[in-house]
Homo-oligomer: A and B are copies of this chain.
Amino acid sequence: MPKPQRQTQHFAADTIAGECVAVRLRVLNRAVSALYDDALRPHGLRVGQLNLLVAIAHLGEPSPAQLCRVLRMDKSTLSRDTEILRRHGWIDLVEIPGRTRPLKITKAGHALIDRAAPAWRQAQSKARALMGIDAATSVAAVVEALWAAESQSS
């Protein structure tokens, strides 16, 4: 973190400010997410929504619980996020007997992803430039490892 003009006053605070992984990861997350949000804004889409859409499209007809595990998000968050996508008509609930309600992309959802793909590509390029090859590839590797472990356990 930028050095203050004054002399150090608080050891614990300066240590955390100077070393905390979470501070840095969260700052980078905001900076990178903003790149995608800017690019996707003309399509009325946010990066989190596009993430969710493509995850559903990629996985086929995943259950909410499966998406939670893959995306590492709380079931309540996912419940509300998917409700927004459903409201826009981009996804549908697959009606089957029982407790699970798998999710499925609609035609409109597919079309939206195709329309937004060029904007995504531009943001992706800017994000790689901002992060550099090292950070981009090592972050990807960590998450791929999480996903591999996930597949193993389930």
Q: Which residues of A come within 8 Å of B, CB atoms?
A: 1-2, 4-6, 9-10, 12-36, 47-48, 50-51, 53-55, 57-60, 70-73, 105, 110, 113-114, 117, 120, 123-124, 127-128, 130-132, 134-136, 138-144, 146-147, 150-151
Contact present for B47 and A26 (CB under 8 Å): yes
Asked if residues B139 and A4 are in contact (CB atoms below 8 Å), the reply is no
CB pair B54 A131 closer than 8 Å: no
Q: Is the CB of A16 within 8 A of B146?
A: no
Residues of B within 8 A of A51 (CB): 20, 22-23, 26
Contacts of A12 in B (CB 8 A): 54, 113-114, 117
B141:A1 contact, CB within 8 angstroms: no
Q: Which residues of B contact A28 (CB under 8 A)?
A: 25, 139, 142-143, 146
Interface SS majority for chain A: helix
* Contact indicator A16/B134 (Cβ below 8 Å): no
**How far is B113's CA from A17's CA once the two chains are assembled, in angstroms?**
11
Residue ID in chain B nearest A21 by CB atoms? B127
The answer to whether A142 and B147 touch across the interface, beta carbons within 8 angstroms, is: no
Determine the chain B residues whose CB is within 8 A of the CB of A131 once the complex forms: 21, 142
**Chain B residues within an 8 Å CB radius of A117:** 12, 15-16
**A17 pairs with B57, CB closer than 8 A:** yes
With contacts A5-B60, A58-B13 taken as known, whether A72 is within 8 angstroms of B31 at the C-beta atoms is yes
Q: Are A130 and B147 in contact (CB under 8 A)?
A: no
